[in-house]
Amino acid sequence: MKNRIATVLLITVIMTGTFSFSAYGSDNPGVKRLSIGLFGGPNVAKSGGRWMTLGGQFDRNAGYNPVFGGNISYAVSQPVSFEFTVYRGIFDRDEDPGRFTNEYWHFTGRGTVHLNDIFQTYRIGNRVTPYISMGFGRMINEIEVVDGPDREFTVSTYLAALGFKFNLSSTVDLFTGYEYHLANTDHLDATPGRFTRDTWGMFLAGLSFNFGKSGAKHIAWHPRGASVDAQLERYGKELRELEKRYAGLNERDAGRDQQLAGLHDRLDEHSEKFDIVFDRLDDHDGRLRNLEGMLTIPLDVDILFSIDLAVLSEQAMAVLDRLVIRLREEPHIHVRVTGHTDNTGPTAHNLRLSERRAESVANYLIRRRIAPDRISTIGMGEHEPAAPNETIEGRRLNRRVEIELLVMGE
């Protein structure tokens, strides 16, 4: 018996060393993976029950006895961990205490799946996670019978478990659950009978101590790889900020209702002003039609200037004064002054003379308080004759200044 226990303990040490490597390397250093647990509770082994009942199935009642033990667990990923468990317990007969006892050591290996990430049960609370386990083991039995020979034998077992884990701190978790065990024998109660295999249940509770980086939780509490607690805290802050902003928006909406009421009043005033503007536009259209006959005003240079000069004569000023009166009445009119000459004399001289005469007209209008940005000038010289230069009359017609009246924006 002692040799078997030593062998099992050696296997435990080897498995612990095997599971101590980091499955993810250093990509997730903020979680713990290795845990050691201690637990206790009663076993349940009833007679006369149905197959696969929670109370198990023995030929004689042999349950409600204490079980103690411990486990070593290593989490490969958030949902999956592997566990090695050692139990120390006893079976005896309830109806005849002392006539039969079975003190046993039970060693199991199992895989455990935490259901938080799989079924998103972390929504229930970030401190509770359900789990399921399945595994197999070896059970060393020491049976003592008052009226018969003692027996010692080892048997294979299978198990399934369902439970809950509760996060108490980053280092300690509380777990509780139910385990169902099936033995490959019907001799556990020292009474071979009508059933081929004995089964029993266990209601266990205990504490799990997590080892790893200080302050980090076990990986089972991080359902999506990153720190869900940090995410939830951030979401909570954002939600509170949104609530404050929503309250502020309600206050702003109340103020904007008042502003909208004022805007409606102002819109009514603007509507009245628009009616006045439309009436003025109708009058403006009529005035533009009156200007159609004077959009271009050709003036002989002989009237405006002395021969070969660009200085305005008294007669020219009188003509331009009438134009000034009209421009003051029509502030939306733009003036373009173009100078022309005949072909007498050098071409360059004629071009410069036409420019100077156009500028003299523009400067006079500016002195009469017509805005400079309403006036533009250009000299064409002899390049755009109005009549042939071969005759005296033709050359006279070509010596001219044209004043174009343009509506602003065209």
Contact 291, 405 (CB under 8 A): yes
- Does the pLDDT at position 52 exceed 80? no
Query: Which of 150-164, 310-324, 355-369 holds the top average pLDDT?
Result: 150-164
Contact 132, 238 (CB under 8 A): no
For residue 409, CA distances in Å to 286, 288, 334, 406 come to: 18, 14, 9, 9
Does the domain spanning 2-223 belong to CATH 2.60.98.20? no
What one-character-per-residue DSSP string does 252-270 give? HHHHHHHHHHHHHHHHHHH
At residue 195, the pLDDT reads: 58
- Which run of H or E residues covers position 174? strand 172-183
User: Into which CATH architecture does domain 293-407 fall?
Assistant: 2-Layer Sandwich (3.30)
User: 126-155: per-residue pLDDT in tens?
Assistant: 678 899 999 999 999 998 887 778 889 999
Pairing of strands 217-218, 31-32: parallel
Exposed, middle or buried: residue 370 (CB in 10 Å: 0-12, 13-18, 19+)? buried
At residue 26, the pLDDT reads: 39
| 356 secondary structure, DSSP code | H
What are the boundaries of each domain within the chain?
Answer: 2-223, 293-407
Q: Which two tokens stand for residue 272?
A: 């009245």
296-300, strands of its sheet edge to edge: 296-300, 400-407, 333-340, 375-381
Q: Is 381 left (phi over 0), alpha (psi -120 to 50) or beta?
A: left
In angstroms, the CA 221 to CA 172 distance is 12
Determine what percent of the chain is predicted with pLDDT higher than 90: 26
Is the pLDDT higher at 154 or at 12?
Answer: 154
Pairing of strands 65-75, 80-92: antiparallel
- Does the pLDDT at position 320 exceed 90? no
At residue 311, the pLDDT reads: 75
Contact 375, 384 (CB under 8 A): no
Is the pLDDT higher at 121 or at 250?
Answer: 250
- Does the pLDDT at position 173 exceed 50? yes
At residue 140, the pLDDT reads: 96
By mean pLDDT, which of 19-33, 276-290, 378-392 is the weakest?
Answer: 19-33
pTM metric for this prediction:
0.50
Contact 361, 321 (CB under 8 A): no
For residue 110, CA distances in Å to 21, 77, 191 come to: 18, 15, 29
- Does the pLDDT at position 160 exceed 90? yes
